[in-house]
A and B are shown apart, each in its own frame.
Chain A
């Protein structure tokens, strides 16, 4: 379980995240929605240790992970994707996925003593992850030669290989054409495992409706509503922000 406890982040005079307390349960897919500048990505950066909170704590299970360095947080099992595709263009697609494995940890002796048979097994497993996402035939190409949408899928394959149990997906549909959106719902749903938590930043409410169990609605750094997609969609503030109809005001 991932739990944020009165999390606050200020940049100078600007409070980007304001006293956010929310928790994410294993097995669920939670949509994190809100307008631009609401603090969604900042929240991910606070969880993953890229930023340190001004106040409040982050708990992963029972463990307080506030202020841990990003690679420590990731090695505990919290993986993330980025809004822009960020895969390694000069590496083969299969190597992109292999290096996400926790065994590839930069230990010199370990790296030198990994027998070829083990490395082949890693590559096969990586190819299996790619096949799962429909990229089997791209495994031997260089990352940079893939289309934008394919590169996004490679990021998912990396998450699968990393063994992360909490997946933070930052706008997986950003920059994709609308026809790919349906496919993204399918992909995210297929990443669901018992015991895996998925948090999804998304603007597109159709996608949120399509795959999320719960929605956290964030605006100006404050949690405005938490609930099922229907409940949150009925919240006057969300209607006001998304449709400008001014439900309650």
Chain B
């Protein structure tokens, strides 16, 4: 039972990082995108493929996953930042679908629908991490470091500019700020963090498959940000706690699995609706985000 709870917490830590990294884009920069699930997958597949084909371990794989997440974000950002608002949502959604299709169909590289098994567990000081408790400790530290980096970033003058862009793009331009370059940087940092989360996930579950990284994953991460409160960082982390723990908690209801599946969806929908009406700015409130 403890192992199970700790296991859930490991997933909380991974999704917490994902939600925080998306908050950098949505909450701080005002760039609403639906592609984080695919970026998460990019990191997971990158480290999985490198581990299986080139014998990379967790650390090398994570580094590569961050680079891959950042670069794919750059590739997404350059064309999609020509559009904004609703069009950016659509463009990023398109990329989400394309990447998911690639994960699903590049059988030779990604293992196709069957996915990839046997991804090695992380090694720390020569010892393999196997227990959920060790995972929780290692991943908490790593996640905290990345979140701390994002926190320092948003509190720096760079973060000030991101918040300015969120409100009005013309004025920062008139003040000499390279708005497009700033957005691209935010995109890349966010993507690199999502890629890292992907690597952590792959080396924890030791198995990756396309359906983990489909549009539902993107929407789930987005919901964490919205429920938690955009532009606060800790809010989206809290959102991740709620949306990871709640479905797990429902398991303990005395219901058969045929009822439980749909019930989860109902609860999930209810939670989102209640938040829209009761706390539209999320658990953390906050001034940030887009209207």
Q: Which stretch, A17-25, A69-77, A217-225, touches the partner chain B?
A: A69-77
- Cβ-neighbour of A119 out of B157, B181, B288 (below 8 A): B157
Asked if A102 and B164 make an inter-chain contact with CB atoms under 8 angstroms apart, the answer reads no
Interface string of B155-166 (1 = CB under 8 A from A): 011111101101
Give chain B interface residues in 131-190, CB to chain A under 8 Å: 152-153, 156-161, 163-164, 166-168, 170-179, 181-182, 185, 189
A135 CB to closest chain B CB (Å) equals: 18
Asked if A79 and B156 make an inter-chain contact with CB atoms under 8 angstroms apart, the answer reads no
- For the complex, give the distance between the alpha carbons of A158 and B177 in Å: 13
* A residues less than 8 Å from B175 (CB atoms): 71, 74, 79, 99-100, 158, 162
Asked if B156 and A114 make an inter-chain contact with CB atoms under 8 angstroms apart, the answer reads yes
Give chain A interface residues in 198-215, CB to chain B under 8 Å: none
Known: A104-B157, A108-B158, A114-B157. A70 touches B167 (CB 8 A): no
Known: A86-B168, A88-B168, A90-B288. A71 touches B179 (CB 8 A): yes
Known: A99-B157, A112-B152. A86 touches B170 (CB 8 A): yes
Asked if B153 and A111 make an inter-chain contact with CB atoms under 8 angstroms apart, the answer reads yes
* A residues less than 8 Å from B167 (CB atoms): 88-91
Asked if A112 and B160 make an inter-chain contact with CB atoms under 8 angstroms apart, the answer reads no
Interface size class of A (residues with CB under 8 A): 35 or more
Asked if B158 and A106 make an inter-chain contact with CB atoms under 8 angstroms apart, the answer reads yes
* A residues less than 8 Å from B164 (CB atoms): 88, 91, 99
B236 CB to closest chain A CB (Å) equals: 17
A95 within 8 Å of B by Cβ? yes
B251 within 8 Å of A by Cβ? no
* A residues less than 8 Å from B185 (CB atoms): 106, 108
B216 within 8 Å of A by Cβ? no
A44 CB to closest chain B CB (Å) equals: 10
Interface string of A82-114 (1 = CB under 8 A from B): 100011111100010011101111111011101
B289 CB to closest chain A CB (Å) equals: 9
* A residues less than 8 Å from B170 (CB atoms): 50, 70, 82, 86
Q: Please, which residue of chain B has its CB at the minimum distance from the CB of A107?
A: B158
A127 within 8 Å of B by Cβ? no
Contacts A86-B171, A112-B152, A114-B156 known; 15 new A-B pairs at CB < 8 A? A71-B177, A71-B178, A72-B176, A75-B176, A88-B163, A88-B167, A88-B168, A88-B171, A89-B167, A99-B160, A104-B160, A105-B178, A107-B158, A111-B153, A112-B153
B-to-A contact residues, CB < 8 Å:
152-153, 156-161, 163-164, 166-168, 170-179, 181-182, 185, 189, 287-288
Q: Could you show 15 A-B contacts with beta carbons less than 8 Å apart?
A: A48-B174, A71-B176, A82-B171, A89-B167, A95-B160, A99-B157, A99-B160, A104-B157, A106-B185, A108-B153, A111-B153, A111-B159, A112-B152, A114-B156, A158-B175
